[in-house]
Each structure stands twice: as C-alpha cells, then as structure tokens.
C-alpha cells in the first residue's frame, strides 16, 4: 500500500525537504491591500512585513475544500491507496475543516489530522508521518505518529507587539496582556491549539534569553533516548534568530539539528515583523531531519 502525505503551507517545511519526501503542500492565502496571494507561491514574507509596517490591510484565508479535493485526487492518480492530511490548529484556522469536507469526496480514504500546532511544530509532525509512510506503515499509523509528535512539541515565541495578533483575532488568553503591552515584551506559547501567555519580561534581549533557557530546559526534559529536533523561526529578524540558533547549537550538542527557518506569510501576517519562535520537537523514532539529504533515516 502507498500512503500519501499532505499538509498545508503553515508547516513551513523548506521546499527541498517537501520534494525529497514527496509531500503535497496546499497553500493558505494572504490578502495584501485587497489582492489575494498564495503562500509559498507568489508572496514573500518581506512583502508581508512591509505591508504591515505601512499599515496596508493584510488578512488571511483558508484553502477551499475543492483545492484539497484536487490534491487528494492527484495523489490517488499517482498511486496512493490512502492519504494522511496534517494541518494547522483548527482553533486558529478553518483549514482543517476544509480538508475534512474534501476527505468525504476523496477517491481514497483520508486521515485528516488537526495538529493543534503550527509552524515547525507541525512540520516535524509531518516528517514523522512521512517517515512512517516511507517505511511501509499504514495511514492510521502515520496519522498517529503526526498527532503524537505534534502533541509533545514545545513552541515558545516572542512578538515585538501584540497588536498584529489583536487585529487578526488570534490572541486568545494573551489578550490579558494588552493593557500593559507597551511596558512588556511577552513570551507566548501554544497550548492545545491556542495562543497562551507564558511570561512577561521588560526588554527584547531579556525575552530572547528567557526563550533560550526555556528551550534548553524543554530539550533536556523531553529528549529521551531519541533526542530532539529544534527549529528557530522568525519573521524579518534573521540576525537575531541566527544568533539564537548558534547559541542553541552550542548548548544542545545532542540535538539532531537546530534549524533556522523563516516564518511564512500567513503566520507572519498575524504575529508581525520581529517575531522569533523556538520549536523543540522530541523524536518518537529516527525520523527524517530537515538536513537529511539522502532520504534515509537520520
């Protein structure tokens, strides 16, 4: 049996990794000044950051069920007997719902997974699903691998301002921080699909330092026998994010990788320029890594 893996563009897996593991990616949409674009296709994160800074109206939207159905039909035509479709938290986007609607009409069975996360916390879950599928596992086993890995991930992020989250309606319980937003640099996390406040600090440098400490602690506590993968993600803050990634490589030599990955347009539209996040993803097995150029176990 052949199991195809589908995800959406908010996994932010590099294009070479997607191609290497034959992952199908369905793009979400970003609307800049009334013009719709497809994430990862015809809009850059730099354009989104510039639009936000210029107060150009920016919004996002899910893919249509029809686009998902066409993706499932294409995977079936290429020989897939079943499909695992892993997506951004349903608490933040209607993408999961659109995939569920399409799955009902798919020519082959589809296991749709609400990852309850986003970014590389989801990206690593997708890679675990691809690993199971590539080694002959069933769709059910691949879907469970994705759910398990996403559920064990730690995601910590820093935003320069809560304003963009407020505008997009994605702020959740972190809205309690809005009254003192000018006086703090908040650390946020993902908890069961929702953005939650984690810690309040006074400066950007202090926020990055606390993120680093929390990431090291999470990697130490959750790594187990198989270790962890770590990703530092950013929007329009490559120097600070790169320096943070280097420090984490020095402090976590046991990590399989500490990758530097840019946040895409859709999530960037909601968190704003200057955002930096860290994902610590414990490995349940010898899954693929982003830098695995052979396609073999890493």
Q: In what order do the strands lie in the sheet with 35-38?
A: 35-38, 29-32, 58-61
Q: Is the pLDDT of residue 97 over 80?
A: yes
Contact 255, 219 (CB under 8 A): yes
Contact 181, 165 (CB under 8 A): no
Q: Is the pLDDT of residue 279 over 70?
A: yes
Q: For the chain, where do the domains classified as CATH 3.40.50.10170 start and end?
A: 3-151
Q: For the chain, where do the domains classified as CATH 3.30.1180.10 start and end?
A: 154-282
The Cα–Cα gap between 220 and 154 comes to: 12
The radius of gyration computed from the CA coordinates of the chain, to the nearest angstrom, equals 18
Predicted pLDDT at 1: 65
Does CATH number 3.90.220.20 belong to domain 154-282? no
- The model's confidence at residue 285, banded by pLDDT at 50, 70 and 90, is low
- The model's confidence at residue 85, banded by pLDDT at 50, 70 and 90, is very high
Share the mean pLDDT of the chain.
Answer: 88
- The model's confidence at residue 52, banded by pLDDT at 50, 70 and 90, is confident
Q: Tokens 């690593």 belong to which residue?
A: 124
Q: Is the pLDDT of residue 286 over 70?
A: no
Domain boundaries 3-151, CATH class: alpha beta
pLDDT tens-digit map of 219-272: 998 866 678 999 999 988 899 999 999 999 999 998 999 999 998 889 888 888
Instruction: Please give the model's pTM, rounded to 2 decimal places.
Output: 0.89
Q: Is the pLDDT of residue 76 over 80?
A: yes
């Amino acid at each position: 049996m052949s199991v195809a893996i589908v995800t959406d563009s908010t996994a932010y897996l590099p294009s070479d990794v997607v191609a290497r593991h034959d992952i199908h990616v369905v793009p979400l949409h970003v609307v800049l000044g009334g013009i719709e674009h497809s994430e990862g296709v015809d809009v850059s994160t730099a354009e989104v950051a510039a639009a936000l800074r210029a107060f150009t109206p920016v919004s996002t939207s899910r893919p249509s069920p029809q686009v998902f159905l066409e993706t499932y039909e294409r995977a079936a035509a290429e020989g897939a007997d079943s499909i695992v479709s892993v997506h951004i938290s349903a608490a933040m986007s209607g993408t999961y719902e659109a995939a569920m609607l399409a799955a009902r009409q798919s020519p082959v069975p589809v296991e749709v997974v609400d990852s309850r996360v986003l970014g590389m916390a989801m990206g690593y879950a997708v890679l675990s699903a691809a690993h199971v599928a590539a080694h002959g596992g069933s769709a059910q086993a691949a879907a469970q691998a994705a759910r398990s890995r996403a559920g064990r991930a730690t995601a910590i992020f820093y935003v320069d301002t809560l304003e963009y989250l407020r505008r997009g309606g994605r702020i959740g319980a972190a809205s309690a921080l809005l009254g003192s937003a000018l006086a703090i640099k908040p650390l946020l996390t993902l908890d069961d699909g929702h953005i939650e406040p984690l810690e309040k600090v006074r400066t950007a440098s202090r926020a990055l330092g606390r993120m680093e400490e929390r990431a090291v602690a999470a990697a130490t506590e959750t790594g187990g026998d198989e270790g962890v993968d770590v990703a530092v993600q950013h929007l329009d803050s490559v120097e600070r994010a790169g320096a943070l990634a280097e420090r984490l490589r020095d402090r976590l030599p046991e990590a399989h990788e500490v990758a530097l990955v840019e946040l895409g347009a859709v999530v960037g539209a909601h968190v704003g320029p200057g955002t930096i996040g860290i994902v610590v993803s414990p490995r349940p097995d010898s899954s693929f890594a982003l830098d695995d150029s052979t396609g073999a176990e890493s």
